[in-house]
């Protein structure tokens, strides 16, 4: 039994004024009154949703206001709601609507047959008439064995025929010993009502002469209203949020997110991969594995060295001859360094610089100097190519080989000394070996470990990285890598700024969406879905709208990386661990900004949401 005693409720004016009444099991009660008279307010109080009243409202002798949170929740879970609008989820068919509330096919089918709608279970809500939707609303209210049925204008939008039919369905529930309370302005329920009340000017008046005298059937099971929330239903939770996410038609937002994520992946790929891939990519063009080392560094790397070139010099009156390493080890073999001719193929072929050509062949065009013979220390050599220094290749010509340090000391603006370059196998026979405590050794290491050296992954005996202050190509590699990292950092800072701004933008957008969906949030709670379940469903829905462009961007990123690798053998793929960490970080970030507005709305009470 529900009993109210001297109950009043005031908003801007007194809606209910010191009313008394009782609602017994197995009876049907009708609340009548004009719109705004307080019918819905009284239903909300009876449902345990509104406790802003004075007086007493009790169930089985226990005051609703004195119930613990758990007891109040159990009380509300024992109540079934039938509202003016059926509130079926429009993107799910009818049976999935009911399964979403409680996945009990047997009970759903039983109730559907009972109310003559079993043939409509697989229809979409928009395919049903108003009366059919209301019958399914009634079925939904009965799924949880509700002991109290509250119906708020359930037939206001139905014609007379469907209204009478619906009234007969409600009348059938009398035998189940339920309390049925119907707020309406229609007279169709008068014939089935046990009591009829009229609310006018805050007063509750029983209409005499329209009361059926029926015997109340007390049932001990009704002495405690222990309703429970419907269980967490993973299958239909997922189905709900997937179907909701499919309704997301924001193409511009999706494209923006895809571009944003692709940019993030590429920026991080440059940060993690560029230096190593730049070295690998240029290994065939530049001899990055040819290093100039001090004695100390030579000792640390001795086991990794596959070849070395000692310093030899041929001294002449107006020029000097220098070591020319093998073709694959020589920086003079870099495309564009030899302007005329080609790299020597034989031990009696040499390279000269253009200063030497101008000195010894002043009246000859440079291309005519190729294949001319010169004598060096009594040995005849053929000129196979001419090396020319300019502003773009100065470092590659002289700066990356310490044995050439005396050819040009003043930079590319200064005139270089005349020089010839003699193959190593020949110069060791005719030249003078330079010995010095501070001499630099030109060595070749295995290409497989070159990138590890430049990335500080090769260690000394003290387990410290070999710093390699004298690596021939380190400045060039670091310069290009720093430029690439600078660009990547600019993009990452831009993304960081966008992510900070997006916290406000996305939170406001979700907050606005939740504002328009707040009734849905409230009604789902009325239908006994727990706040936790609703929270995860909504967060999952919004998250799915982000996961979709995230994985599209992952696919596009990997396709672009594959194309780049096929065309240039430049690997920008992030490894699996980084991909996983990155995706998890994005999802955690997104969950955080989705949760902020969700928590705000989940703290609101049901009345505030549905009002």
Least confident of 62-71, 251-260, 463-472, 507-516: 463-472
pLDDT digits (tens, 9 = 90+) for 437-446: 556 788 998 8
C-beta separation of 379 from 346 below 8 A = no
The pLDDT of residue 57 is 94
The pLDDT of residue 217 is 42
Name the more confident of 318 and 223.
Answer: 318
CA distance 295 to 297: 6
Q: At a CB cut-off of 8 Å and minimum separation 6, what does 387 contact?
A: 332, 337, 338, 339, 351, 352, 353, 354, 397, 421
C-beta separation of 203 from 188 below 8 A = no
| Closest by Cα among 58, 41, 181, 64 to 607 | 41
Name the more confident of 412 and 15.
Answer: 15
CA distance 72 to 74: 5
Summary mean pLDDT of the chain: 86
The pLDDT of residue 596 is 87
C-beta separation of 383 from 350 below 8 A = yes
pLDDT digits (tens, 9 = 90+) for 24-53: 988 999 999 888 889 999 999 999 889 889
Residue 220 pLDDT level (bands cut at 50, 70, 90): very low
Name the more confident of 506 and 437.
Answer: 506
Structure tokens at 284: 């065939």
Task: Give me the residue spans of the domains in the chain.
Answer: 2-78+145-228, 242-276+479-610, 290-472
Residue 230 pLDDT level (bands cut at 50, 70, 90): low
The pLDDT of residue 330 is 94
Task: Give the pairing type, strands 305-309 and 441-445.
Answer: antiparallel
Residue 231 pLDDT level (bands cut at 50, 70, 90): low
C-beta separation of 144 from 76 below 8 A = no
Residue 502 pLDDT level (bands cut at 50, 70, 90): confident
Q: Is the pLDDT of residue 489 over 90?
A: yes
Q: Which CATH class is domain 2-78+145-228?
A: alpha beta
Q: Is the pLDDT of residue 427 over 90?
A: yes
Residue 212 pLDDT level (bands cut at 50, 70, 90): very low
pLDDT digits (tens, 9 = 90+) for 102-144: 888 999 999 999 888 999 999 999 999 988 998 899 888 888 7
| pTM for the structure as a whole | 0.72
Q: Is the pLDDT of residue 218 over 60?
A: no
Rg (CA), the chain: 43
**Residue 286 phi, psi (nearest 5):** -115, 135
Degrees to nearest 5, angle at CA 279 with 273 and 284: 140
Q: Is the pLDDT of residue 588 over 80?
A: yes
């Amino acid at each position: 039994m529900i009993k109210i005693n001297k109950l009043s409720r005031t908003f801007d004016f007194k809606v209910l004024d010191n009313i008394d009444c009782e609602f017994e099991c197995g009876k049907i009660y009708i609340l009548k009154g004009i719109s705004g008279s307080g019918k819905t307010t009284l239903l909300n109080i009876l449902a345990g949703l509104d406790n802003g009243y004075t007086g007493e409202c009790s169930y089985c002798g226990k005051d609703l206001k004195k119930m613990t949170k758990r007891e109040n929740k159990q009380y509300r879970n024992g109540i079934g709601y039938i509202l003016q609008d059926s509130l079926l989820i429009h993107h799910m068919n009818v049976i999935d609507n009911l399964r979403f509330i409680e996945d009990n096919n047997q009970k759903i089918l039983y109730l559907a047959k009972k109310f003559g709608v079993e043939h409509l279970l697989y229809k979409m809500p928009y395919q049903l008439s108003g009366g059919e939707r209301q019958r399914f609303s009634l079925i939904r209210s009965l799924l949880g064995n509700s002991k109290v049925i509250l119906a708020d204008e359930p037939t206001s939008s139905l014609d007379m025929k469907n209204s009478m039919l619906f009234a007969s369905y409600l009348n059938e529930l009398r035998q189940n010993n339920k309390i049925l309370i119907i707020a309406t302005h229609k007279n169709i329920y008068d014939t089935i009502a046990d009591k009829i009340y009229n609310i006018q000017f805050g007063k509750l008046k029983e209409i005499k002469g329209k009361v059926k005298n029926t015997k109340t059937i007390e049932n001990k099971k009704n002495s405690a209203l222990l309703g429970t929330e419907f269980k967490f239903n993973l299958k239909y939770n997922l189905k709900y949020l997937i179907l909701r996410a499919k309704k997301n038609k924001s193409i511009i937002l999706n494209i923006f997110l895809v571009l944003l994520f692709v940019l993030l992946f590429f920026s991080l790929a440059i940060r993690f991969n560029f230096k190593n891939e730049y070295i690998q990519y240029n290994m065939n063009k530049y001899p990055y594995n040819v290093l100039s080392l001090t004695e100390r560094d030579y000792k640390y790397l001795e086991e990794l060295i596959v070849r070395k070139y000692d310093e030899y010099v041929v001294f002449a009156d107006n020029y000097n001859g220098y070591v020319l390493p093998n073709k694959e080890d020589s920086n003079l073999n870099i495309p564009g360094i030899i302007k005329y001719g080609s790299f020597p193929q034989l031990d009696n072929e040499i390279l000269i610089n253009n200063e030497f050509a101008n000195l010894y062949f002043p009246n000859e065009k440079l291309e005519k100097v190729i294949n001319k013979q010169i004598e060096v220390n009594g040995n005849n050599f053929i000129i196979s190519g001419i090396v020319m220094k300019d502003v773009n290749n100065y470092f590659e010509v002289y700066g990356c080989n310490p044995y050439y340090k005396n050819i040009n000391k003043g930079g590319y603006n200064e005139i270089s000394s005349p020089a010839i370059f003699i193959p190593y196998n020949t110069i060791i026979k005719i030249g003078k070996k330079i010995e010095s405590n501070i001499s630099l050794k030109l060595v070749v290491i295995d290409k497989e470990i070159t990138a590890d050296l430049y990335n500080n992954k090769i260690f000394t005996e003290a387990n410290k990285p070999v710093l390699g202050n004298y690596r021939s190509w380190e400045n060039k590699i670091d310069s290009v890598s720093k430029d690439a990292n600078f660009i990547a950092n600019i993009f990452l800072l831009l993304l960081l700024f966008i992510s900070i701004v997006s916290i406000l933008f996305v939170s406001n957008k979700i907050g606005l969406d939740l504002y328009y969906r707040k009734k849905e949030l409230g009604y789902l709670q009325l239908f006994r879905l727990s706040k936790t379940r609703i929270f995860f469903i909504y967060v999952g829905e919004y998250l799915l709208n982000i996961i979709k462009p995230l994985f599209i961007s992952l696919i596009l990123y990997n396709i672009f990386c594959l194309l780049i690798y096929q065309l240039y053998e430049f690997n920008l793929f992030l490894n699996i661990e980084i991909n996983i960490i990155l995706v998890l970080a994005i999802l955690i970030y997104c969950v955080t900004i989705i949760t902020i507005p969700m928590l705000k709305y989940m703290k609101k009470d049901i009345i505030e949401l549905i009002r």
